[in-house]
Amino acid sequence: MKITWFGHSAFRVETGGAVVLIDPFLSGNPTWKGGVQAAAAGATHVALTHGHSDHIGDTVDICRSTGATLVANFEICMYLAGKGVENVSPGNHGGRQDFDDFSLAFVQAWHSSAEIVDGKPLYLGNPAGIVLISKAEPGKIVYHMGDTDIFSDMALINEIYAPTIGIVPIGDRFTMGAELAAMACRRYFSFKTVIPCHYGTFPIIDQTADKFVAAMGGSGVVVPERGTAVEV
């Protein structure tokens, strides 16, 4: 499995013949200079954790140019279908969707979810984390937490899915900070690989992963360069 980070919470997960973009905030992302086209090349699916603009990002353009299937909650799927996304696969918490090379489930996240339209928030369903279970590479299970606080039912997510790869927000203010994120990883999961995200993008969130790496004792933490794929 290859995972590429593009800054903020935007990732590319490649497993088997599937290329899944998660929260592809690219063109508006001040820390990503590589453009949308290269990042989205060959995309088969786009999966969204919630409806904030720094997570929906370039979804519409990517789905229209690649034909990728949008996997998101019902509200986001219907909203973006109205903007020209043709292939949508709506779901919600507790269900699982099966595709050729992976299955995907939405799980709880403590956050909010809306797009600002004409100066007013448009509700876009409950925020979620994403569990991506590779069929092509058994045992490779990715848990992208989305934007979230720590919560005790993370233990239940681990019991049900036993994720091996954690993608964890650490930037503070809008999500967990370094200490809470490390507590969540240590207390509730047995990740083999942990990739921090949602930091360094804007001045009001933490700028580096240093505090998280220190809080984790370096154990299993991978801090990738933006745009450089890592094998997990």
Instruction: List domains and CATH numbers for the chain.
Output: 2-223 (3.60.15.10)
The mean pLDDT value for 196-215 works out to 98
- Given a cut of 90, whether residue 219 has pLDDT beyond it is no
Shortest CA distance to 149 belongs to which of 167, 169, 163?
169
Q: In this predicted model, which residue has the larger pLDDT, 218 or 193? A: 193
Q: What is the pLDDT of residue 210?
A: 98
- Given a cut of 90, whether residue 216 has pLDDT beyond it is yes
Question: What does the mean pLDDT of the chain come to?
Answer: 98
pLDDT tens profile 54-79:
999 999 999 999 999 999 999 999 99
The mean pLDDT value for 128-157 works out to 98
